[in-house]
Structure 1
Amino acid sequence: MDFWYQNPGWRAWLLLPLTGLFWLISALRRQLFALGLKKHYRPPVPVVVVGNLSVGGNGKTPVVLALAEALKAAGLRPGLIARGYGAKGPFPALVSAQSEANVVGDEARLLVKRSNLPMAVGGDRRAAIELLLAHHSIDVLICDDGLQHYALARDIEIVVMDGQRRLGNGYLLPSGPLREGAWRLDSVDFVVVNGNDAGAGQFAMTLNQGLPRRVCDDSPVQWQALPETLSAAAGIGNPERFFQSLRQRGYQLTEALAFNDHHHFTQADFKDVQGPLVMTEKDAVKCQAFAPEHWYYVPVDAAFGPQLCQAVLETLRSRHGL
């Protein structure tokens, strides 16, 4: 919603009664866990949660991938869990490279495809973790999202924040984009800022684009092989960021098709598209079955200094001796 990222106006104020209800329910829920009236589930291995305060994409999935690679390079055996947002299940479910995105979720499908790590999904995080641990030898879990899922005890919390949109208008849902207030940044272990200057104690991150790949078969192509005029599509939290990245490379977009985050793509969504089309990697995993040869996707990798991964490793070692 556009007004989430502007100065609060009448639309935000109109929703303030619902925002107050949202605040009351979420605050009460947090307090029940804090007082022990609702119980946490603590897995037998440490848990690192990578989440955000605002709804929509902030670059969380590339951070999960980069962190998983760093932990694996350090000799650990990471496993991944996620809710499987927008997927039909059944849950809990193990994710493989052959899993369908509409069954396990687009982000889960992408994470396993890129990392080749064991992963399970399901709204019941405990059930997903127990399923994963029953099938794989794992010594650390990375939870993609779930910052507000207080039923899962965690050892490290990482917040990823969009450097352009930041915390929007600063209001909680539905008047603004926030699941929790800005105060929550003071209680997490690390804050990663995607695409802008990081503040004191925060870690700056950029998303580096790799070579385009054909959606139908993942074959890489050179950027110069793409025509200067093409169409683009994005079903992510901030589609304009993707479109702008293509324009900055000199491409003219005849169409810029923006869809809701986690949109379930069908051929009908592209019935009016003529010629080459470029999309995000997260969208491509849902379009591979019907994509023609002139559709491409752009993989991205999170780039930040080694300090973040080193700090996560040191924290795991100091608290758990890993």
Structure 2
Amino acid sequence: MTKARLPAWWFDNAPVPLIARAVSSVYGDVTRLRRGLYSRHLLRQHRVPVPVVVVGNIAVGGTGKTPLTIAIVERLRDAGWTPGVASRGHGRREERTPRWVERNTSPDEGGDEPVLIAMRTGAKVRVDRDRVAAARALAQAGCDIVVCDDGLQHYRLARDVEIDVADGRRGRGNGQLLPAGPLREPIERAMRCDFRVVNVGAGGDGEGIAGFGEWPMQLVPGDAHPLVGGRPRPLASFAGQRVHAVAGIGNPDRFFAMLRDRGIAVVPHAFSDHHVYVAADFEFGSKLPVLMTEKDAVKCRALADADFHSVPVRAELPEAFWIALLDRLPPRTQDTTA
């Protein structure tokens, strides 16, 4: 079983090893040099013929980027846009090969998050290590706006809106750069984003707090859906029961806490992000219902039985956030193939 483990010094105030500090210093120099080359236009940013909204984070680990991406796609569509999603597609078998991702694409070919986005939204999804190429392909396919999932550090792609997503409970850890801390870039980088969204918990459970200038996001769970077919059942129907809870995401503890907050007795099983499941992973030694995230469920249908359920979540933000986001976008145009 591949467990999800993060260095103790990232979030638990443990001493940072000297080697980690040394590597972090070099990493910081490299990231500063790279940002400087782009800001001085010595490295070129490429603009595509449609607006680009980038959703990302400066800290390693799950913050809720995928649910927010799904919510943004749905809101843009409601506002009359035709959004497409660009993603690298982490964890797919051939990461060097660009491809379109559809509802029925296997996760090993499209990546778990892109497949989930395609299933939930029905939008065009393009996976490519080169986000510029992915955005261009989406524009040529008729999308009049591109949402880039997890692309904050991909500076080659020029963007109209940047959204940083942070975890309200873990915050940004010890505030240090990799590997001394969980940060891909300094905290000041998040301050320069157009929007800073904070995942404050599941349905207002009070896990985290959004500060001044930050927008609170709640991930509200829906009904539990059987992986092998059948009617969904209310998540509340598991209250008072013991369940095996499975999460192979950036922050498994958040999923477990969400279930516990609803009175469910959780036997936790944390796996690494983008874990590739095999049957042996579910040899738990006791026959209990299995609840897992949607991201895990897209990879586990062939391994599931009637006891397996996925728990979808919906990102909810203040209406003022959506008004501000739409107001930040340029006017819509009809021709996206130029």
**TM-score interval (norm. to shorter):** over 0.9
Corresponding residue SS for 1:22: helix
Counterpart of 2:3 in structure 1 is: none
Counterpart of 2:91 in structure 1 is: 86
* Residues 292, 309 of structure 2: 8 Å contact kept: yes
| Residue from 26, 34, 52 that aligns with 2:57 | 52
Counterpart of 2:281 in structure 1 is: 269
Counterpart of 1:303 in structure 2 is: 316
Q: Which runs of 5+ in 1 are unaligned?
A: none
What CA distance in whole angstroms lies between the structure 1 residues aligned with 2:41 and 2:229? 50
Corresponding residue SS for 1:15: helix
* Residues 138, 146 of structure 2: 8 Å contact kept: no
What CA distance in whole angstroms lies between the structure 2 residues aligned with 1:38 and 1:233? 43
Q: Does 1:242 align with 2:242?
A: no
Q: Does 1:257 align with 2:269?
A: yes
Kindly provide the CA deviation profile for residues 185-212 of structure 1, in whole angstroms up to 9, marking residues without a partner as x. 2211000010122111110111100001
For residue 222 of structure 1, report the CA deviation from its aligned partner.
2.5
What CA distance in whole angstroms lies between the structure 2 residues aligned with 1:301 and 1:124? 29
Report the more deviating stretch, 123-132 or 75-84: 123-132
* Residues 212, 299 of structure 1: 8 Å contact kept: yes
Corresponding residue SS for 1:67: helix
Over 3 Å counting, the alpha-carbon distance change for 1:218 and 1:54 in structure 2 is farther
* Residues 234, 258 of structure 1: 8 Å contact kept: yes
What CA distance in whole angstroms lies between the structure 2 residues aligned with 1:140 and 1:210? 28
For residue 127 of structure 1, report the CA deviation from its aligned partner.
2.2
Over 3 Å counting, the alpha-carbon distance change for 1:54 and 1:218 in structure 2 is farther
Q: 1:8-23 maps to which residues of 2 (within 5 A)?
A: 8-11=14-17, 13-23=18-28
Q: Which amino acid aligns with 1:94?
A: W
* Residues 235, 283 of structure 1: 8 Å contact kept: yes
Q: 1:1-322 maps to which residues of 2 (within 5 A)?
A: 1=6, 2-11=8-17, 13-89=18-94, 91-134=97-140, 136-195=141-200, 196-217=208-229, 219-226=231-238, 228-253=241-266, 255-273=267-285, 274-317=287-330, 320=331
What CA distance in whole angstroms lies between the structure 2 residues aligned with 1:236 and 1:258? 8
Corresponding residue SS for 2:77: helix
What CA distance in whole angstroms lies between the structure 2 residues aligned with 1:223 and 1:188? 36
Over 3 Å counting, the alpha-carbon distance change for 1:219 and 1:106 in structure 2 is farther
What CA distance in whole angstroms lies between the structure 2 residues aligned with 1:59 and 1:218? 28
What CA distance in whole angstroms lies between the structure 2 residues aligned with 1:153 and 1:60? 19
Corresponding residue SS for 1:279: strand
The runs of at least 4 aligned residues of structure 1 exceeding 3 Å deviation read 224-227
What CA distance in whole angstroms lies between the structure 2 residues aligned with 1:38 and 1:112? 33
For residue 91 of structure 1, report the CA deviation from its aligned partner.
2.1
* Residues 216, 290 of structure 1: 8 Å contact kept: no
Q: How many residues align?
A: 317
* Residues 94, 132 of structure 1: 8 Å contact kept: no
For residue 218 of structure 1, report the CA deviation from its aligned partner.
7.0
Kindly provide the CA deviation profile for residues 99-147 of structure 1, in whole angstroms up to 9, marking residues without a partner as x. 011111111010010001011011111222233333x211110000110
* Residues 50, 139 of structure 2: 8 Å contact kept: no
Kindly provide the CA deviation profile for residues 147-173 of structure 1, in whole angstroms up to 9, marking residues without a partner as x. 011111111000010000111000100
